[in-house]
Amino acid sequence: MARQLRAEQTRATIVRAAADLFDRHGYESTSLGEIVEHAGVTKGALYFHFAAKEDLAHAILELQATTSRRLATELDGRGYTSLEALMRLTFGVTRLAAEGPVLRAGLRLATQGVGVRPPLRHPFTEWLDLTSARLVDAVRQSDVHPDIDVESVAHTLVCSFVGTRVVGRSLEPVTRQPRRMAEMWHLLIRGLVPVTRRARYLTLAARLEREMP
């Protein structure tokens, strides 16, 4: 059991080191030798867990998908409206990305065209489905205009979410991300939410921004 625990810890250390380097330097510009050095492990330890750099990228994308799904499931179980759950999901992912390199690296891998191996789905496809499902429910709950094109709105929302993070990481400190996320939602709410319910969600966006560390 102790040996298995050490192996799991070593694997986690390697993944985190790779994520940090992929996030800062990009996938193509990072070598396995640099990952070994950054993780403080031997080459043998790395190859015990990962046969190639592509396997490390896949592991990071898997972690990103698992984290997003887990957060979405947790929020769905707390009794929030679907629109609130969606808003909290975007702020939650933003917070987790600020706290550690795995989600930041996952986003960079996704935007750099690194291949995703089945059965894992591309992160953007996953986010589009998560968003679409919650928008459908938000329409049923009368929190979103009934005449929206769900597919189109989901695409716009995911593009805004991804673009806000990609542009922000290049131009601003990570501490600016909550403000940008709130600005994104202020625009979306004014276009999607009926006037009678708009104040509630504008207030929620401001509160979620304040609650971010």
In terms of Cα–Cα distance, which of 50, 69, 189 is closest to 121?
69
pLDDT of residue 2: 67
**CATH code: domain of residue 77:** 1.10.357.10
Q: Does residue 197 belong to any structural domain of this protein? A: yes
Task: Say whether pLDDT at 12 is over 90.
Answer: yes
In terms of Cα–Cα distance, which of 185, 166, 173 is closest to 124?
166
The total of structural domains in the chain comes to: 1
**132-138: average pLDDT:** 97
Do 184 and 167 contact (CB within 8 A), yes or no? Answer: no
What does the CA dihedral 156, 208, 121, 4 come to, rounded to 10 degrees? 170
Helix/strand/coil for 207: helix
pLDDT of residue 113: 82
**17-30: average pLDDT:** 95
At 171-181, the pLDDT tens digits run 888 888 999 99
Q: Does residue 125 belong to any structural domain of this protein? A: yes
**pTM here?**
0.91
Do 87 and 185 contact (CB within 8 A), yes or no? Answer: yes
Structural domain range at position 73: 53-211
Q: Does residue 43 belong to any structural domain of this protein? A: no
Which range has the worst mean pLDDT, 128-137, 143-152, 169-178? 169-178
At 47-71, the pLDDT tens digits run 999 999 999 999 999 999 999 999 9
pLDDT of residue 137: 97
Q: Which residue has the tokens 């330097």?
A: 25
Which range has the worst mean pLDDT, 139-143, 147-151, 165-169? 165-169
Which range has the worst mean pLDDT, 36-40, 103-107, 129-133, 166-170? 166-170
Q: Which two tokens stand for residue 34?
A: 């640099």
